[in-house]
Structure formats: C-alpha cells, structure tokens
Amino acid sequence: DFLFFWGAVFLVTTTLVAFLKKENQELIPAKEETKGITDTYRLLFSIIKMPAVLTFCLLILTSKVGFSAADAVTGLKLVEEGVPKEHLALLAVPMVPLQIILPLVISKYTAGPQPLNTFYKAMPYRLLLGLEFAFLVWWAPKVKHEGGFPVYYYAAVVLSYALHQITLYSMYVAIMAFNAKVSDPLIGGTYMTLLNTVSNLGGNWPSTVALWLVDPLTVKECAGAQGHTCATAAAAEV
C-alpha cells in the first residue's frame, strides 16, 4: 500500500509537470551543446584531460575512503549484534526532516567563493563519527538484555546518525555547489554530469571494497575447537 500510494503520487506529479510546465523560450540557446553521442564523449574526454579537472577527480575519487567502512558496514554489524532490522528502519524516520532541512541550511555556507571549505571542515568530524559507530557496535552486546536494547542505546544511535547526516550533507552540498560553480555554462549539463558521476563513484567504490573486506578482516573465535581460527566460511560452519 505504501509503495502503491507513493507510486501514484509520483506518476501524478510528473504528469502534471510534463503538461503544465513550459520552457522559457528566450533562455534556450540557439546552438545545441553537442550534436550526438560521439561529440558528447569527445567533449567529456577533453574536459577530463584538463589538469585541474583531473586533480579534482582524483581528490573526490579517494576522499571517502576513510569513512567507507563506517557508512557501509555499521548497520549490518548492528543487526548482527541483535538490533532488530525493523527498529533500525524506524530510526531512519526522524532523519527524513533533517535531510530536508540540512541542504537549505548548509547552502548558505556554500554559496560563497570557496564552497569546498565546508567540505574540508566536515571531513574530520565525519572521520571521528566512524569511531563513534565502531563504539556503538562494540557497545551493543554489553547493553543487550532479554527484552532487547534499552531506550538510551537507541537514543545514542539516533544522535550518532543525526550527527553523521550533518557531516554527510555538509560534504555533499559543498561538492554539488563547487561542481555548479566551476562548470562551464556553455556545456553546463555535460560538465556537471561528469563531475557528479565521478563524485558518486568516489562514494560507491570504497563502500564496495569495505563490504568485500569484512569477512577477511573479521577475527573469529571457535568455541570448543582449540587450534582452529574459523577464518574461512567452511571452518566456521564445521
């Protein structure tokens, strides 16, 4: 029912936009940015070959390595420690208004001549929150009781998630503002898409690697089987 309702809302609103929204003809440039797929890719390669763009792409491709494990694995580890999935899903609800408000607030600080300053300032706090998430995972079995987890533990999780959202959106909005600022207006769409795609890749590949490394880096102890490390899935099964 939930999915059906929002699917209907999505269809209705997008249909209304299609029929009721009119383009401002005066602002449409006479010449198109590109003529076809081949020209577009030629343009992309010429953009990415520029030294400043290449340096920036290397920066945003590697900038999220430090908190990839905390972002990708914390929720899975909390579930592994016994926190019910439905409770974690409910904890995401208070984050929704925060996610709506944060870009509006942060945009005031990224509107100046140096939007990346906000990105740099938020990074150390986001790295520290990785340690906070590790503490929450370590703390979970200590406070767990027969009825589940105490309210103060959930309060600590919500607070940690809220602080994480602040740092995450500070970095996200700053990067978007910077991309919009440096993109050439004549090829704005192509330029912005390239930089945003690289930015998304910079967040996705470290998370994938972090998830892949969970098993090899997890230390396991075998109860009643001395001399066995249970390092492999087969050994743990036995």
Question: 10: which 2 tokens?
Answer: 């999505």
In the predicted structure, residue 190 carries a pLDDT above the cut 90: no
Give pLDDT tens digits for 80-91. Answer: 888 898 988 888
Percentage of residues of the chain with pLDDT beyond 90:
47
**DSSP letter string, 68-91:** HHHHHHHHHHHHHTT--HHHHHHH
Alpha helices, DSSP H only, in 111-224? 116-143, 151-182, 188-217
In the predicted structure, residue 194 carries a pLDDT above the cut 90: no
In terms of Cβ atoms closer than 10 Å to its own Cβ (0-12, 13-18, 19+), residue 81 is: middle
Within 8 A by CB and 6+ apart from 132, the residues are 160, 163
Q: How many alpha carbons lie under 13 Å from residue 139 in its C-beta half-sphere?
A: 14
In the predicted structure, residue 220 carries a pLDDT above the cut 90: no
For residue 87, CA distances in Å to 15, 55, 201, 231 come to 36, 42, 30, 31
pLDDT band at 26; cut points 50, 70, 90 = low
2-6, 16-20, 38-42, 162-166: segment of lowest average pLDDT? 38-42
**pLDDT mean over 96-117:** 88
Write down the domain spans for the chain.
66-185
pLDDT value of position 63: 92
pLDDT value of position 216: 83
Rounded Cα gap, residues 70 and 204, in angstroms: 13
Secondary structure letter of residue 223 according to DSSP: T
pLDDT band at 6; cut points 50, 70, 90 = very high
pLDDT band at 12; cut points 50, 70, 90 = very high
Rounded Cα gap, residues 194 and 188, in angstroms: 10
How high does pLDDT run on average in the chain?
Answer: 87
pLDDT value of position 68: 92
Rg of the Cα atoms in the chain: 23
Q: Averaging pLDDT over each range in 22-31, 111-120, 126-135, which range is the top one?
A: 126-135
